[in-house]
Amino acid sequence: MASLTAAEPLQKTPLNAVHRALGARMVDFGGWDMPVEYSGIIDEHLAVRNAVGLFDVSHMGEIEVRGPQAFDLVNTLTPNAVARLEDGQAHYSALLYPNGTFVDDILVHRMGPEHYFLCVNASNQRKDFEWIESRNHFDAEAEFASEKYAQLAIQGPRAIETLGKLTATDLDAIGYYWFERGQVLDVPAIIARTGYTGEDGFEIYVAPEEGARLWNAILEAGEEFGIKPCGLGARNTLRLEAAMSLYGHEIDDTITPYEARLGWIVKLKKGEFVGRDALVEQKEKGLTRRLGGLEMTGRGIGRDGYRVFDGDRDIGWVTSGSPGPSVGKSIALAMLSIDKGEPGTEVEVEIRGRRVGACVTPTPFYSRKK
């Protein structure tokens, strides 16, 4: 396990010491020294489904776009309809290449008519910023703002009660994918009702030097509800059950939104945007492959990258696979040949040289009761 090659030093979030003090198992996650688990992935996963969990997601990147043509820049570089956003509203979207594949998937928050706040993936943040800069022919300024924020995610049915103890902001009044600027304790915060777990919850953005103090305050506030600190391991099983995409797995620079079942973020009627022509063409020609859900019917776990077969025919690959702690089955997302994507189709996953039965299923695997 030891290596003599000098690697780039791992980047750390402002909460690194807090995780280590809590005894978290730390891993290199795309160049970041991040907690993968504290009490155990299943325990943390179930805490989020049944009560509340707290995640440090400060590795995520932030890019702020300001100026008279901030709207034009964001609207040109993303497929979703930015014009539909009101102040205080956010949506899921993407940065696409001209061929319609993903630079990244992102959240766009409209802070004001001339100010947009983008939350982007940790490992893509530099690439995203350079991409935006290279396409910025507008009267707008893009700022690489990742160092200005720590981001904490409070997720689960008791998230609202937990955070409610620490803020005067009326959390009930914040709709799903809306946000407010308020205070948590005495700390100015963007409080967004967003998440990556399939549960109700909030993601808050605060000054990095306040991250540790807020982390501790949230854990204390949530104690009566059974809050658990949660790592990236549970974050992955939670998002997989909710069939949410992860860059480098379901989406990347070879896959389009239509193929990833993210056609709902593509608003062709809004007019020009980067990637539009390629997506129009793909829509006209029809898809050859599309993301689907799999449930293992045989004994085994289909892991990321494993091939999927229909008899002798290679029909695709697992993009993410894991036991689903809340569905009680081994589940996977897989990129499948379009003719084999119908729910109910019996397929096989090749697990270390052995074929194991699986069945195409509708996604998400888990939906919370509203």
Q: Which residues bind other proteins (CB under 8 A)?
A: 1-2, 25, 36-37, 40-43, 233, 236-237, 299-301, 303, 322-323, 325, 352
Residue closer to other proteins by CB (options 188, 305) is 305
From the CB of 37, what's the least distance to other proteins, in Å? 6
Tokens 């690439």, located at residue: 127
From the CB of 8, what's the least distance to other proteins, in Å? 18
Q: Are 99 and 281 in contact (CB under 8 A)?
A: no
Measured in degrees and rounded to the nearest 5, phi and psi for residue 2 equal -70, 145
Residue closer to other proteins by CB (options 7, 173) is 7
Residue closer to other proteins by CB (options 25, 115) is 25
Residue closer to other proteins by CB (options 145, 301) is 301
- If one counts every other C-beta atom within 10 angstroms of the C-beta of residue 166, the result is 21
CA 242 to chain CA centroid, nearest Å:
11
Contacts of 109 (CB under 8 A, 6+ apart): 89, 90, 116, 117, 118, 119, 179, 190, 192
From the CB of 323, what's the least distance to other proteins, in Å? 5
CA 164 to chain CA centroid, nearest Å:
24
Pairing of strands 346-351, 307-310: antiparallel
Residue closer to other proteins by CB (options 43, 141) is 43
Q: Are 310 and 340 in contact (CB under 8 A)?
A: yes
From the CB of 349, what's the least distance to other proteins, in Å? 13
Residue closer to other proteins by CB (options 125, 322) is 322
Residue closer to other proteins by CB (options 36, 119) is 36
Closest to 19 in 3D by CA, of 167, 147, 10:
10
Residue closer to other proteins by CB (options 266, 358) is 358
Q: At what angle do helices 41-50 and 232-241 cross, to 10 degrees?
A: 60
Residue closer to other proteins by CB (options 2, 173) is 2
CA pair distance 293, 344, nearest whole angstrom: 10
From the CB of 303, what's the least distance to other proteins, in Å? 6
**Cα separation values, 340 from 21, 256, 303, 343, 351, Å:** 48, 19, 19, 9, 19
CA pair distance 27, 39, nearest whole angstrom: 15
Residue closer to other proteins by CB (options 14, 231) is 231
CA pair distance 305, 350, nearest whole angstrom: 10
From the CB of 297, what's the least distance to other proteins, in Å? 15
Q: Where are the alpha helices (DSSP H) in the chain?
A: 16-21, 41-50, 70-77, 125-134, 159-164, 211-222, 232-241, 276-285
CA 97 to chain CA centroid, nearest Å:
19
Q: How many angstroms separate the most distant Cα atoms in the chain?
A: 62
Q: Where are the alpha helices (DSSP H) in 223-315?
A: 232-241, 276-285
Pairing of strands 187-192, 179-184: antiparallel
Q: Are 193 and 179 in contact (CB under 8 A)?
A: yes
